[in-house]
A and B are shown apart, each in its own frame.
Chain A
Amino acid sequence: MDSHLVGSGLARIAVVAAIMSLVIENGFVYDPINKVNGEEIDIFVRDGKIVKEVNKRKARVINASGMVVMPGGVDIHTHIAGAEVNTGRLLRPEDHFRDVEIKTSITRSGVGRSIPSTFTTGYRYARMGYTTAITPSMPPLLARHTHEELDDTPIIDKAAFPLLGDSWFVLEYLQDNRIEECAAYVAWILKATKGYAIKLVNPGGLEAWGFGGNVRDIDDQVPHFSITPREIIRGLCKVNELLGLPHSIHVHTNNLGKPGNYMTALETMKCVEDLADGDKPIIHITHCQFSSFKGSDWRTLRSGAEEIARYVNRHDHVSLDLGQVIFTDTTTMTADGPFQYILHQLSGNKWVNGDVETETSAGIVPFRYRRKSYVHATQWSIGLELALLIDDPWRVFLTTDHPNAGPFTSYPRIVSWLMSKEARKRTLNRISKKARSKSPLESIDREYTFNEIAVVTRAGQARILGLKNKGHLGIGGDGDISIYNIDPQEINPSKQFRSIRRSFEKAAYTIKDGEIVVKNGEVVKSLEGRTFWVNPRVSESLMGSVKQIKQRFQDYYTVQFENYPISESHLAFSSPIQVEASV
C-alpha cells in the first residue's frame, strides 16, 4: 500500500514537470549556500529541479532584470497545523472576523489573522515567497490530526516535529540510561507519527504540570521520575546523534517567559557542549527571545541578549531562532502548559489548557503586544538584539514563533528592521520610554545585507534542518524560487526600508517545483506540497525492544498500540527521508 502511494507521488512530480521548463533571466541572484552574492546569473529549472541548462526556445522565460532572486523561503518554526492551532481557531472567532479571504477561481476562501485557516496559511506563505514551513509541536498522539491539516495546507512543503521531551517512555528509558533502546523508541515514534525531528518543550516541566507543578531549573528533579531536565536534554541529544537525524534537537527551554531565564537558556546550551562533534549545531534553541530575560521580576526585566549572543558567538554547537515580537494582537500557543497558565494570569485573557495523556500538555491565550508596555517593548528589543549581536547569520533565524510573538505575515517588517537602522529607530521612538532608555539597539549599527537576509530566511534554515534540496539554487536543488521586485543596485535598504517591506510582502514571482504559483503577490496556481518525514533505519534486534512497550501501552494510553501509528497512505504527498542509524 505504502509503496503504491509513493509511486503515485513520483508520478505526480513527473506530470508537473512535463508541462514546462523555466528560465529566470538577468536577476540578481542571492544563493548563499553556493556562494552567489547578487550576481546576474540565469537559473534553469526542468522537471521541478534546478538544472544546468534548458532549451530556451521551449521554456517559459521570466525576465527578472532589476529584481532579486532567492531560493524559496524556509520557516523552521511556525505553528500552522495540529490540535493546538485548531483549538486556537475555535477560541478566537474575533480573529477570523477581522480578516477574511474571498475565494477566487484558483484559491479557496479562508479566515484568520493570527491563526489563519489551513488553505489561507499556504497561500499567504507563498505570497511572501516562502515554500517550506515546519510545524514544531505535534503531540505524537495527535499526529493524525496534524497531518490532515498539513495535507490541506497548499503549495508549501511541510514537516512536523513530535514532542518527545516529556513522553513517559522517553523519561523511563533515559532514567535507566537505556540510550540505545530510547533511540529505537524515538525511531519508531518518528515513523509512527511521520515526524521530522525531536522536539523538547520545557523538558520535564510539562510532565510535572500534569500534577500542577513545574521544574525550577534544568537540575530540578521531575516528580515521579528520577530524572532532571538536563538528563532529558543530554539523553535526547545523544539519541539524535545515534539516529543521525537531519536536524538537531529542537529545544524550547525550561522557565520560558520568566525574568532571569537567560541563565536557564545558557545552562541548556552548555549542558550539551561536550557532545558537540564540531560538524554542525547539535542543539537548536527556538524562539530564543522568550528565553533571554534578565532581572528578578517584571519591573526589573532587562535584556539578556548580549550574554546569549556572546555565548553563541564563541560556541558553534548552538543555533537559534528569534521569536521576534511584533506589536499587534495575536494568539499565543505552546505545549508549555504552565507558561500559558502564567500568561493567562498576567493578562486576564481567556485561555485553554490541555493535557495529552502521557506525552505533553498545551495552552493557548490571546495576547496583545503593546508598544507602550515596558515588558513588551523590551521583548521586541531582545529579538532584534539577538539577530544583530550574533555574528554568524547561519545560526540565527528569522521567526516570530508564529503566532506566539506575531503572525508570520509580519516577516517583511522584521526584514526591514534588520536591514535598516533607521527603521529600527522609527519604531524605537514609539515604544515605552523606559524600554527605549534601556535598549542597546540605538548603539548597534549593523544592517543586514541581502545575502544575510537570504541566509536567515532560507539558506541557513534549510541547512540546519538538513533539507538538502531546499534553500539553494544549485544544480539538483528543488525548483523553489522567489523573486522580489527590488533592484539591489538602485535601492538603499537603510533609507528605503518601506519599499523593502512592501517587496517582501508580495513576491513578484514564487516558483514551487518549477511552477509559477504566485505572480505579483497573487496566487495563480495552487499545488499540493510535500510532507517530509524521517525514517531512521535501526537494527532489527534493537527495534524488537520497542515491542516490549506494547503491554505498557495498554496501561498508559487510550489508544491501542496497533492503532497508534499512522500509515504513509494517510499523507497526501509523502516524502520520506531515509537515514541510517548507527545503532
Chain B
Amino acid sequence: MFTLKARRDFSVPVEAECITCDVFSEKSKEEIKSLSIWEGNRRRELGLLFDVKYGGGSDQNETEIRLVGDFGKVRKIGRGMTKGKMVIDGNVGSHLGEEMEGGSIIVRGNAGSWLGSAMKGGRIEIIGNAGDYVSAPYRGSIEGMRDGEIIIHGHAGNEAGNFMRGGLIRIEGNARQFLGIHMRDGTILLLGNSAGRVGAEMLGGRIIVCGQVPEILPTFTIDAVRPSVTVAGNENKKGPFYRFLGDLADNGEGRLFISKPSNPHLSFYEEYL
C-alpha cells in the first residue's frame, strides 16, 4: 500500500493525473516520487509535493493507495484508472476518477465537481458531499457515464448525471437542480430532496426520487402510479411512486419515479390517469 501525504497546503490547482493505481502498480517508490505533476503553470516532481510511503495494506496482489490530508486543490486523481483501490482521507478536488474504467475509490470527505466524469466502470463512494456535474462528460460532449457506480452519502450539486448513458448514481442526501439532464440511459436514485427540473431533456433511463420535488417539468406526462420500483440488483424501493414519461420536448422516453407520500402537492396529476 502506498500512502501519500501533502507536504504543504496548495494555493493553486494541482493536476495529478498520474495518481492512479495503474501507474503506481508498475513503479518503484523512487520512480513514483519522480512522476511529473503540474502545480499551476509549473511542472513539479510528485515527491516535491507529496510524501510517499510504502508498506502495510491487506492484499499484496491489489495496488492500494491511501491519500491523507486535504486534497481539495488536487484534480484528476484516478483518471482512467482500471484496477486497484484508492482511499482518500480528506477532501478531494474536481475530476476525481475521470474516465475511470475499473477499481474503486472511497473518499472520506467531500469531492469537487465533475466527479466520475464520463466514467466507464468501477465504483466511487463519497462519504461527504459532491460538487456539480457528477458523472458529466467534458463540456460539449454527449458521451456521458457509460457504466459503473457512484455512491454519494451526502448531497450533490447541479446537473448530476448529465448525459448519462448507463450505470448507477445513488445520492443519499439532496440534489440541486437538473438532476439527470440530457440523460440517455442508466439509473439515478435520489433518497433526499430535489431542487427541481428533474430529467430536463432526458431521452431515456430512470430517475427515482424518494424525497420532495418542487414541481415536474411541464414536458413530462403522468403514466402510472407504481407501488414500488426496483433500483438495481435486488434493491427495491417501496413507494408508491408517480411515474412520469418524458422529456416530450425531445420525444424522450425517460421515466421519472417520484415518491407519492413525499409529494402530496402532485396529487392533482392523478386526475389525468
Contacts and interface: CB of A to CB of B under 8 A. Distances in A.
Q: Which of A94, A95, A348, A349 gathers the greatest number of chain B CB atoms within 10 Å?
A: A94
B138 A349 contact: no
A93 B140 contact: yes
Contact of A94 (B138, B203, B250): B138
Nearest to B250: A348
B142 A349 contact: yes
Tell me whether chain A's interface is mostly helix, strand or loop, or mixed.
helix
Interface in B108-157: 137-143
Contacts of B138: 93-94, 97
A91 interface: yes
The size bracket of the interface on B is: under 10
A348 B250 CA distance: 9
Contacts of B139: 93-94
Contacts of A525: none
A143 to B, nearest CB: 28
A113 to B, nearest CB: 12
A95 to B, nearest CB: 8
Contacts, number: 18
A502 interface: no
Contacts of A93: 138-140
A349 B137 CA distance: 15
Contacts of B142: 349
A77 B139 CA distance: 30
Contacts of A348: 203, 250
Contacts of B250: 348
Q: Which of B137, B138, B141 gathers the greatest number of chain A CB atoms within 10 Å?
A: B141
Interface in B167-194: none
Nearest to B141: A94
Contacts of B140: 91-95, 350
A94 B250 CA distance: 23
Interface string A328-367: 0000000000000000000011100000000000000000
Nearest to A95: B140
Contacts of B143: 94
Nearest to B203: A348
Contacts of B203: 348
Interface in A174-198: none
Interface string A87-124: 00001111101000000000000000000000000000
Interface string B232-265: 0000000000000000001000000000000000
Interface in A62-102: 91-95, 97
A88 to B, nearest CB: 11
A95 B137 CA distance: 12
A93 B139 CA distance: 6
Interface in A122-151: none
Contacts of A94: 137-141, 143
A325 to B, nearest CB: 21
A92 B142 CA distance: 11
7 contacts: A94-B139, A94-B140, A94-B141, A95-B140, A97-B138, A97-B141, A348-B250
Given A94-B138, A94-B143, 5 more contacts: A91-B140, A93-B140, A94-B137, A94-B141, A349-B142
Interface of B: 137-143, 203, 250
